[in-house]
A and B are shown apart, each in its own frame.
Chain A
């Protein structure tokens, strides 16, 4: 019998391509099929042949390299593969690999499922994905041209492994999205939430553009609340309603008692003026009786509490006509102080001692030892 016929008879699941130099298909060992790909460039001679197989098979063959090389020297392809099959059968009895094979299949199934789920999402909404499809980034561009992005990490046993998601959406919205397990369902739910919150974001964008927002410092679309400056020392905490986007947001006034009372009574009086058809900024002006919001320009100015070179006790540069003339010797601290300020502090703390004309104590900033001359 021709060697080629014998091969096909012994390994019917192996498909020959390219003039008997390439073989692809399965070798069945003890009822399990192993995916294999063989390249025999000098057929029928086996020299320089390559054998590609799945991870569990390569694990089974590890340690038999010399034997395999010997076979390549002497055998035909058919006898080589028969020997290989016997070897695998023997090795499989020693350490069963059934479990690993099953896992392989689940991953393959998951992959198929993931691909078919991904196909349901329009291509231009897919921003990126990692090579193993474990990390997928999708987007939705809304009516106001805002780009919303959702990151998903898919587990190996998709969809049994929970898909982890991340997106700049309020927690309540994320909770709803997390109820889905399939990528396309998650994306649809994400789009639903994005569209649902359109109005809220339009409102919040207007607020961010027109008002002095104190908190959060860098608002994101996760934040449904804003602290807005409405007067000197007076601010309001505005919390948009997630359950009902057209509802009046909750407003809490913070500030000096008198102003708070004044604004609160204004709010109570004007409550009915809130018009759900116009924007929150306009509504706020109406119900708070404001002609405009305090400007935001102060935000950019340098308004730190203590500037470099200023005394860390009086927060000023000049004190009694002197600049800070003492520096904490701890190099990591190095805080500047006026002698008068530091001296007064070291004297206030009980337990500090004075020797000659120096007071010894701890640096009020870092706690390391510091000493200060008695001021003249």
Chain B
């Protein structure tokens, strides 16, 4: 009952006044509980300049249960696993997490954007990346930048979208194809390098 009323309001406000660097809207018209979100990597982080796609599924018990938020763009990050799942306590119900119904979608997305820029290696999903983040930060930053360039460059979202649609489960296959896309990208457009 609360879900529909609240979602409608939230989507209206998200359309008119989205948080900086974030967009969020229904994936398809008329179905308002599967949302598409995009966020720009924060300045100064290795994710700067990338546009990251997320999928948000709103559970029927929303806002008494937190939304399911998942990255659709591959991200090299201690708190995001290979399938895009995010380890963030706001996304879990108490007592495991700290979701509260007063948190808005906009607020949640800003938190995810912040988590992206400031990983939390104490609560990792990807233990090896967390270790790298802690003990070999330059290497972590290099890889995170590389992935951002490869998968999250704003211009190649066309191609990666089709890839996702055709082979969402075959990760290795996807990676190969994406790699070729990315190398094409390298030669193409210098203007995005300085932003």
Chain A residues in contact with chain B, CB under 8 A? 214-216, 225, 227, 232-235, 237, 239, 241-243, 247-248, 250, 252-257, 260-261, 264-265, 298-299, 303-305, 312-316, 319-320, 335, 341, 344-345, 348-351, 364-365
Contacts and interface: CB of A to CB of B under 8 A. Distances in A.
A305 B104 contact: yes
Contact of B101 (A255, A261, A313): A313
B17 A303 contact: yes
Contact of B5 (A247, A305, A316, A365): A316
B188 to A, nearest CB: 11
A257 B27 contact: yes
Contacts of B192: 250
A319 B158 contact: no
A265 B159 CA distance: 11
B138 interface: no
Contact of B154 (A243, A253, A257, A265): A253
Contact of A313 (B9, B13, B17, B63): B63
B63 A314 contact: yes
A345 B17 contact: no
Contacts of B27: 256-257
Interface in B1-38: 1-2, 5-6, 9-10, 12-18, 20-27, 36, 38
B191 interface: yes
The 8 closest A-B pairs by CB, nearest first: A233-B25, A314-B2, A254-B23, A364-B100, A252-B154, A313-B101, A215-B20, A315-B6
A348 B18 contact: no
Centre residue among A232, A235, A254, A316 by max chain B CB count within 10 A: A254
A233 B13 CA distance: 10
A313 B102 contact: yes
Interface residues of B, number: 47
A358 to B, nearest CB: 19
24 contacts: A215-B21, A216-B20, A233-B14, A233-B15, A243-B194, A250-B192, A256-B26, A257-B36, A257-B161, A261-B158, A264-B155, A264-B158, A305-B10, A305-B104, A312-B102, A314-B63, A315-B5, A316-B2, A316-B5, A316-B9, A345-B100, A349-B95, A351-B94, A364-B101
A214 B17 contact: yes
A251 B161 CA distance: 19
A299 B94 CA distance: 36
A297 to B, nearest CB: 11
Contacts of A350: 94-95
Contacts of B15: 232-233
